[in-house]
Amino acid sequence: MKKKKIVIMGATSGIGLAVAERLAHKGFQIGVAGRNEEALQALAARYPGQVVWHRIDVTRTECGLGLRKLIDKLGGMDVYFHVAGVLYPNPRVDNSLDAATVRTNVWGFTQMVDEAFRYFRDEHRGRGRIAAVTSVAGTKGIGPMASYSASKRFQSVYLQALDQLARTQGLKIRFTDIRPGWVRTPLLEPGGRYPMIMPLDYAARKVSRAVKRGGRVSYVDWRWHILVALWRLVPDSLWVRMPADRLVHTPKS
C-alpha cells in the first residue's frame, strides 16, 4: 500500500520534530517546515530522498505560498499536520506576550490551515486530511496562560467549523484534533511544575498514532481524557475560584 505524503508544520523541535522522525522511520514521505533551517536540513540529511524541507514562518503573510512550494517539493500532500505554536506563561498579563501568542497560534494557524484546505479542495479531488496539535488547555481557561488557553480553544473550534463546511460542500476533507496534556518540550518553563507531565518520546508515539489513524478528536493520553471529562463538569463559577497553581506552577518573573 502506498504511503501517504505528510506535511508537518513546526517540525524543528519538540513534538513536531519527534513525530517527523517517527513517521520518516516508518517509511512515510515527509515535507517538513519551520523557522530553524539548520534543524530542517539536519532532518532531511538523516532521511535522504524521503524528507524534503522548506523554511516557513507562519506569522508572515507569504506563509501560504511557502506551503505550496513545500507541497511541490514533496510531489503532493495527503495529510497536513500543524504543530507550530508558542506558549508564554503570562501571569503579569503582558500585552506583548499575548500578541505574540495570537500571531502564531491564531493568525499563523488560520493562514496555514486555510491554505491546506484550499489545496485539498481545489487540487486534490476534494479530499485529504488536516490534523493539528491543539491542547487540553483549550477545554478550560488556565489563569497564567490565558491567551494560550484561548488560542487552543480557537483552534479546536476552527477545525470543527471547517469540518462542517467541508461536509456541507460535499468535500472528503477530514479533520483530526489532537489534544495533549503537558509534554516535556522546550515550550515549557524549565523550572515549572506541571501535573501529569509526559516524556516527549511517549507523547510523540501517541501523537504519531493519532496522525496515522485519523480519528476526529484524540487526547494524549488516557489520563488526560479522563481529567478533561471531569473538569468539564466543574461549573465556571467554581472553576474560576480554583487556585491556578493546581493546574500549573510557573517560576515567578
Q: What is the pLDDT of residues 18-46, one digit of tens each?
A: 999 999 999 999 999 999 999 999 999 99
Higher pLDDT, 124 or 252: 124
Give pLDDT, residue 21.
95
Please state the rounded mean pLDDT for residues 165-169: 98
| 253 band by pLDDT with thresholds 50, 70 and 90 | very low
Mean pLDDT of the chain: 93
Please state the rounded mean pLDDT for residues 220-236: 93
> At 181, which amino acid appears?
G
Task: Count the Cβ atoms, other than its own, within 10 Å of residue 223.
Answer: 13
Residue length of the chain: 253
Higher pLDDT, 104 or 239: 104
Report the alpha-carbon angle 88-223-221, nearest 5.
Answer: 65
pLDDT tens for each residue of 170-216: 999 999 999 999 999 888 777 677 788 999 999 999 999 999 988 99
The CA distances from residue 6 to 14, 51, 216, in Å, are: 18, 10, 17
Task: Count the Cβ atoms, other than its own, within 10 Å of residue 186.
Answer: 9
| 247 band by pLDDT with thresholds 50, 70 and 90 | low
Give pLDDT, residue 246.
61
User: What beta strand segments (E) does 91-197 contain?
Assistant: 127-133, 172-180
Handedness of CA 198, 200, 205, 209 (dihedral sign): positive
Handedness of CA 131, 197, 19, 146 (dihedral sign): positive
> At 59, which amino acid appears?
T
Task: Dig out the grid coordinates for 53 from the structure.
Answer: 524541507
Please state the rounded mean pLDDT for residues 151-157: 98
Task: Dig out the grid coordinates for 211 from the structure.
Answer: 496522525
Give pLDDT, residue 81.
98
What percentage of residues in the chain have a pLDDT greater than 90? 81
pLDDT tens for each residue of 42-74: 999 999 999 999 999 999 999 999 999 999 999
Give pLDDT, residue 1.
58
In whole angstroms, give the CA distance from residue 186 to residue 246.
Answer: 21
| Cβ atoms of residues 185 and 224 within 8 Å | no
Give pLDDT, residue 251.
52
Number of C-alpha atoms within 13 angstroms, CB side, residue 176? 25
**Phi-psi category of 194—alpha, beta or left, where left has phi over 0 and alpha has psi -120 to 50?**
beta
